[in-house]
Amino acid sequence: MTVFLLKRILIGLVTLALASMVVFAIMELLPGDPARLMLGMNATAESVSALRTQMGLDDPIHLRYLNWVGGMLVGDFGRSFTYSAPVIGLIAERAVVSLPLALIALVLSTIIAIPVGIFAAARRGRAGDTVSMGAAQIGVAVPNFWFALMLVYVFAVWLQLVPAGGFPGWGGGIWPGLRALILPAVALALPQAAILARVTRSAMLEVLGEDYIRTARAKGMPRRHVLWRHALRNAMIPVLTIMGLQFAFLLAGTIIIENVFYLPGLGRLVFQAITQRDLIVVEGVVMLLVASVIVINLLVDLCYALVDPRLRAAR
Amino acid sequence: MSAPDAATPPEGIGAFLRDAFSNRSFLIGAVITMLIAAMALLSFVWTPYDVTDLVVASRMQTPSAEHWLGTDHFGRDILSMIMVGARNSIAVAVVAVGIGVAIGVPLGCWAAARGGWIDEVLMRFNDLVFAFPALLSAIMITAIFGPGAVNAIIAIGIFNIPVFARVARAGALSIWPREYVLAARAAGKGPTLITIEHILPNIASILLVQGTIQFALGILAETGLSYLGLGAQPPMPSWGRMLFDAQTRMMVAPHLALFPGMAIVITVLGLNLLGDGLRDLLDPKLRRRR
């Protein structure tokens, strides 16, 4: 078990290091001189070259890479020229929108998907199964940004229950902030819930065919108990794997959804930074997202061990 | 010796067709997919109206006898735009899947055939690509190299490579220990020949199923990119772009957003049903269980 986890952690660190090189290399290949971008078109050649020296842009490439990585390790992600502010501050400011959004969406999708998946598996082949899996099949096909537009039309334009977009911040209490996040979270959660419900159903079906389930039923254990205690626990591994993958997907999905709802989150920050060529911001946010994907996958591996005692002993 | 294995049902083509026609997912999925493909092909020779015709006098009309799905903010016929948009989405997704298959499958087969450090390096490379949220990287690629259909294809295609590599590797690993592979090795065949003659025919069915799924995901990704303005550029109609244009006009003309979205949902639904049906038909193990 310890060896298994150590190996996973090592692989995660190597992946992260490689990812940082890829991100750095892509940004290096981009045309455009950051110093000139910062100073504008009318700047003299001398002032541009002075700034280049000051920013360390004339250093050899490996030094610049090490400086960048070393900076990130101590929380210095550089300075954005479009916002004239440290990148870490921008990220912190935007994360308070994106992180709650992704978390609410993950919770929503889980509390919808797992009961639906179990319900469908328990009623395999009957009407309940057909209807819920038909709905899931449609849910998988719905692009989240289109679903978002439809939600805006129904709940914001027509019923006027929630705002159509924008974010009031958390300063005025939790409720106004949450109200602004409800529609985006639902839009993000629905397609994910559809996928998760399908995975839960097929994992449950796999487990329900096992001998120990029949034994449990044969010795008179109530059906509900068998489903929720014995079957679900054994079906959790594929479900957890998909949930881990989904968190990464949700974080990336915020890019589109935040654009639909004009939410000032990380997704909108990185999208605007890309279009404005504010590369230092792009690098910082991308590295943060990649790191969180790697950490989430590690946590999923840890959860395997919690769910399945056999793994704890074996590896 | 060709492959007498799990991939093709032993009953022969007649039984396969009988199964296919009794498989609801496959049947509905195949019909929808063919209709969408036919619509896209038809758009090359005929559309109800010319999509480059801007008739400002008849802008943002609701559906009517002349314009079945109404007109957009430039007075263009929405049905015609959806037909031409289908062609764009399908082309992007097909080529993106092609990139994934052409590069990913040989890599996966190679990793399975050689094992050892080559396998390890390829799998770590896979981890690396999977660590980047696909959409984020696709946005980066299209934003950096410039928006457009070709760059959208590359951006989506890159993420298909590790998917197919992983599927091909897993499939190939399960075929390698088989007896007929052993027999082929004993007969002196090298890994390349064995891969071509025995491994590929046996993993073709799982690759086909995965291809259908990636095709559907590719269409979703393309619409997402063109919604952000990073896919096909105007005046070329694309479903994502139509939704972007519709967004600011939701108050006055909600039907502008409704129809392109439904086109996406129906297309992706059809492909997913087709993929599910294919999996049931081609995987005897699953078939027995249902």
Read off the pLDDT of residues B65-94 as tens digits, 9 standing for 90 and up. Answer: 777 888 887 878 889 999 999 998 999 999
Bridge partners for A229 per DSSP: none
On the question of pLDDT at B6 being above 50, the answer is: no
On the question of pLDDT at B288 being above 50, the answer is: no
Q: Using an 8 Å Cβ cutoff, are B43 and B87 in contact?
A: yes
On the question of pLDDT at B248 being above 80, the answer is: yes
How close, in Å, is residue B139 to chain A by CA atoms? 8
Torsion sign (Cα): B194, B95, A271, B144 = positive
Output the average pLDDT for chain B.
Answer: 85
User: Nearest Cβ partner of B131 from A205, A271, A294?
Assistant: A294
- Architecture of the CATH domain A89-314: Orthogonal Bundle (1.10)
Test B250 with A149 for CB contact under 8 angstroms: yes
Which A residues 248-307 touch B at CB under 8 Å? 248-249, 251-253, 255-256, 259-260, 270-271, 274-275, 282, 286, 289-290, 293-294
- When mean pLDDT is compared over A61-70, A179-188, B244-253, the highest value belongs to A179-188
On the question of pLDDT at B103 being above 80, the answer is: yes
**Which residues from chain A sit within 8 angstroms of residue B133, using beta carbons?**
248-249, 251-252, 289-290, 293
Which A residues 1-30 touch B at CB under 8 Å? 11, 14-16, 18-19, 22, 26, 30
Name the residue among B284, B165, B266 with its Cα closest to residue B216.
B266
Read off the DSSP letter of residue B77: B
Query: What pLDDT is stored for residue B126 in this prediction?
Result: 86
Test B132 with A290 for CB contact under 8 angstroms: yes
User: Nearest Cβ partner of B140 from A149, A152, A274?
Assistant: A274
Query: What pLDDT is stored for residue B35 in this prediction?
Result: 95
Confidence of residue A299 (pLDDT cuts 50, 70, 90): confident
Tell me if residue A79 falls in helix, strand or coil: strand
Distant-in-sequence, close-in-space partners of A206: CB < 8 Å, separation ≥ 6: A235
Tell me if residue A80 falls in helix, strand or coil: strand
Average pLDDT over residues A7-22: 88
How close, in Å, is residue A124 to chain B by CA atoms? 9
Distance CA A282, CA A280 (A): 5
User: Nearest Cβ partner of A18 from B128, B224, B272?
Assistant: B128
Report the range of poorest mean pLDDT among A128-137, A158-167, B10-19, B259-268.
B10-19
Tell me if residue A85 falls in helix, strand or coil: strand
Average pLDDT over residues A175-204: 90
Test B265 with A138 for CB contact under 8 angstroms: yes
Length of chain B counted residue by residue = 290
What are the residues of chain B with a beta carbon less than 8 Å away from any beta carbon of chain A? Answer: 124, 127-128, 130-136, 139-140, 143-144, 216, 220, 223-224, 227-228, 243, 246-247, 250-251, 254, 257-258, 260-261, 264-269, 272-273, 276, 289
Counting other chains too, the contacts that A170-177 makes at CB distance below 8 Å and 24 or more residues apart are A170/A96, A177/A100
Test A143 with B223 for CB contact under 8 angstroms: yes
Confidence of residue A185 (pLDDT cuts 50, 70, 90): very high
Query: What pLDDT is stored for residue A189 in this prediction?
Result: 93
In chain B, the domains with their CATH numbers are 13-54+65-289 (1.10.3720.10)
Q: Using an 8 Å Cβ cutoff, are B105 and B162 in contact?
A: no
Instruction: At A59, list the tokens.
Output: 């250093």
Distance CA B19, CA B215 (A): 24
* Cβ atoms < 10 Å from Cβ of B39: 19
Test B220 with A143 for CB contact under 8 angstroms: yes
Render pLDDT for A114-163 as a digit per residue (tens, 0 to 9): 999 999 998 888 898 999 999 999 999 999 999 999 999 999 888 888 88
Query: What pLDDT is stored for residue B289 in this prediction?
Result: 44
**Which residues from chain A sit within 8 angstroms of residue B272, using beta carbons?**
137, 140-141
Confidence of residue B3 (pLDDT cuts 50, 70, 90): very low
User: Nearest Cβ partner of A256 from B144, B227, B269?
Assistant: B227
Query: What pLDDT is stored for residue B38 in this prediction?
Result: 94
Render pLDDT for B202-229 as a digit per residue (tens, 0 to 9): 898 889 989 998 999 999 999 999 998 8
Query: What pLDDT is stored for residue A147 in this prediction?
Result: 94
Query: What pLDDT is stored for residue A303 in this prediction?
Result: 80
Query: What pLDDT is stored for residue A312 in this prediction?
Result: 63
Test A140 with B272 for CB contact under 8 angstroms: yes
* Domain ranges within chain A, ordered by starting residue: 2-87, 89-314
**Which residues from chain B sit within 8 angstroms of residue A30, using beta carbons?**
144
Tell me if residue A160 falls in helix, strand or coil: coil
Test A149 with B246 for CB contact under 8 angstroms: yes
Test B272 with A141 for CB contact under 8 angstroms: yes
Average pLDDT over residues B144-150: 82
Q: Report the run of H or E that residue B261 belongs to, with start and end.
A: helix B255-282
On the question of pLDDT at A272 being above 60, the answer is: yes
Test B250 with A157 for CB contact under 8 angstroms: yes
Among all chains, which residue has been given the structure tokens 């997919």?
A: B33
Test B135 with A253 for CB contact under 8 angstroms: yes
Test B268 with A141 for CB contact under 8 angstroms: yes
User: Nearest Cβ partner of B250 from A22, A140, A153?
Assistant: A153
Output the average pLDDT for chain A.
Answer: 85
The percent of residues above 90 in pLDDT, for chain A, comes to: 24
The percent of residues above 90 in pLDDT, for chain B, comes to: 35
The backbone torsions φ and ψ at residue B251, rounded to the nearest 5 degrees and listed phi first, read -60, -45
Instruction: At B171, list the tokens.
Output: 């499939």
How close, in Å, is residue B185 to chain A by CA atoms? 33
Distance CA A161, CA A180 (A): 11
Instruction: At A244, list the tokens.
Output: 């881990």
Cα–Cα distances (Å) from A292 to A106, A141, A254, A286, B133, in that order, read: 15, 27, 14, 10, 10
Interface test with B, best of A145, A204, A290 (most B CBs within 10 A): A145
Query: What pLDDT is stored for residue B5 in this prediction?
Result: 46
Instruction: At A205, list the tokens.
Output: 């079906």
The backbone torsions φ and ψ at residue A7, rounded to the nearest 5 degrees and listed phi first, read -65, -45
Bridge partners for A86 per DSSP: A79
Angle between helix axes A87-122 and A174-208 (nearest 10 degrees) is 40
Q: Using an 8 Å Cβ cutoff, are B257 and A146 in contact?
A: yes
Query: What pLDDT is stored for residue A314 in this prediction?
Result: 52
Query: What pLDDT is stored for residue B160 in this prediction?
Result: 92
**Which residues from chain B sit within 8 angstroms of residue A140, using beta carbons?**
268-269, 272
Query: What pLDDT is stored for residue B161 in this prediction?
Result: 93
**Which residues from chain B sit within 8 angstroms of residue A157, using beta carbons?**
250-251, 254
Q: Using an 8 Å Cβ cutoff, are A239 and A199 in contact?
A: yes
Tell me if residue B255 falls in helix, strand or coil: helix
Query: What pLDDT is stored for residue A32 in this prediction?
Result: 67
Test B257 with A149 for CB contact under 8 angstroms: yes
Torsion sign (Cα): B161, B163, B164, B168 = positive
Query: What pLDDT is stored for residue A311 in this prediction?
Result: 64
**Which residues from chain A sit within 8 angstroms of residue B135, using beta carbons?**
249, 252-253, 255-256
How distant is the alpha carbon of residue A45 from its chain centre?
A: 43
Distant-in-sequence, close-in-space partners of B153: CB < 8 Å, separation ≥ 6: B92, B95, B96, B99
The torsion region of residue B226 among left (phi > 0), alpha (psi -120 to 50) and beta comes to alpha
On the question of pLDDT at B285 being above 70, the answer is: no
Name the residue among B187, B1, B193, B206 with its Cα closest to residue B113.
B193
Query: What pLDDT is stored for residue B11 in this prediction?
Result: 59
Query: What pLDDT is stored for residue A264 in this prediction?
Result: 92
Longest dimension (CA), chain B: 77
Average pLDDT over residues A296-301: 84
Distance CA A100, CA A262 (A): 16
Q: Using an 8 Å Cβ cutoff, are A235 and A156 in contact?
A: no
Test B220 with A153 for CB contact under 8 angstroms: no
Query: What pLDDT is stored for residue B10 in this prediction?
Result: 52
Average pLDDT over residues A26-48: 75
Confidence of residue B40 (pLDDT cuts 50, 70, 90): very high
Type of residue found at A92: A
Distance CA B134, CA B159 (A): 7
Query: What pLDDT is stored for residue B211 in this prediction?
Result: 93
Query: What pLDDT is stored for residue A1 in this prediction?
Result: 66
How close, in Å, is residue A267 to chain B by CA atoms? 9
Distance CA B26, CA B286 (A): 15
User: Nearest Cβ partner of B269 from A14, A141, A256?
Assistant: A141
Distance CA B240, CA B262 (A): 12
